[in-house]
Amino acid sequence: MRLLTWNINSLRLRLPLLSEIVAALAPDVVCLQETKVPDALFPSDACRALGFDHIAHHGMKGYNGVAILSRLPLADIRTPSRCNREDCRHLAATVAGIEIHCLYVPAGGDIPDPETNPKFAHKLDFLREVAGWYRNNYTPDRPVALAGDFNVAPLETDVWSHKQLLSVVSHTPVEVALLGDMQASLDWVDAVRAVIPPEHKLFTWWSYRSPDWTRNDRGRRLDHVWVTPALAGAVRGALVARECRSWTQPSDHVPVVVDLDVPLPGR
């Protein structure tokens, strides 16, 4: 099973780019974040035309929104609410016996202080709640893949400068610690870092605000694919589609792909 996750930053605007990446990488399952499309306006026909006959989406007007596109049937579609908000950040479905979870963690605003910045407080609460939810509702022997924009770059090699980003939201010690707690909830394995050694710098996001993202390569690894220990032995490969950041009218995030050696029906 080839799983692709991408913060697409408007699905409707970037359908042609989705088509391009699907043609190039042939994923079986696609997890999208920041679809920015209400469910009533979801472009299902266009997604089916890309080969995804099975679609789950959880969207709202203007912001957020998650979706799972699959070549294989989806079962048990669920949309857990987070922090008592209906803000469309979590979607889960079962594909070929594997639970696929698509997650969009709040970005957290600019100021890394939960006392003065409610967005940062929400982000910290969200991370705590998700960790507790997995701990209470799952066990590590269940085959689950958790993919999405976690909006946290946990490792020193996940940012262009560890020292310079210590007080920048996405790499502050409090967020990294909470993401660590979330990872510990089910002993999640970072599938991408299981393939690409943690010594290597690896980014999945580059700010739109930089006039030339390639000049200093000031990126961060905000997008992740984790698997439970039950699936860790099935991880066969991982890829960050860095070249997509150079497309015309790109998302500020690029797709991340993980290959899992699991039996698929009809193959």
Partner DNA sequence: ATGGTTGATGGTCAA
Q: Which residue from 40, 45, 62, 263 is in contact with DNA, where contact means CB under 7 A?
A: 62
209 binds DNA per the rule CB under 7 A: yes
Under rule CB under 7 A, which residues in 112-171 are in contact with DNA?
119, 151
- Of the CA atoms within 13 Å of residue 36, those in its CB half-sphere come to 13
85 binds DNA per the rule CB under 7 A: no
Distance, in Å, from the CA atom of 189 to the CA atom of 179, rounded to the nearest integer, reads: 12
Largest distance between two CA atoms of the chain: 54
Under rule CB under 7 A, which residues in 228-257 are in contact with DNA?
249
219 binds DNA per the rule CB under 7 A: no
Of 66, 7, 13, 15, nearest in space to 38 by CA: 66
180's enclosing H/E stretch is helix 173-184
9 binds DNA per the rule CB under 7 A: yes
The stretch among 56-64, 67-75, 92-100, 232-240 that binds DNA (CB under 7 A) is 56-64
Q: Which residue from 15, 50, 77, 107 is in contact with DNA, where contact means CB under 7 A?
A: 107
Under rule CB under 7 A, which residues in 18-47 are in contact with DNA?
36
The stretch among 22-30, 105-113, 179-187, 228-236 that binds DNA (CB under 7 A) is 105-113
Roughly what angle, to the nearest 10 degrees, separates helices 118-137 and 173-184? 10
Q: Which residue from 106, 112, 219, 255 is in contact with DNA, where contact means CB under 7 A?
A: 106
Contact 145, 153 (CB under 8 A): no
DSSP states along 194-247: HHS-TTS---SEE-TTSS-HHHH--EE--EEEEE-HHHHTTEEEEEE-GGGGGS
Binding site for DNA (CB under 7 A): 9-10, 12-13, 36, 61-64, 106-109, 119, 151, 208-209, 211, 249
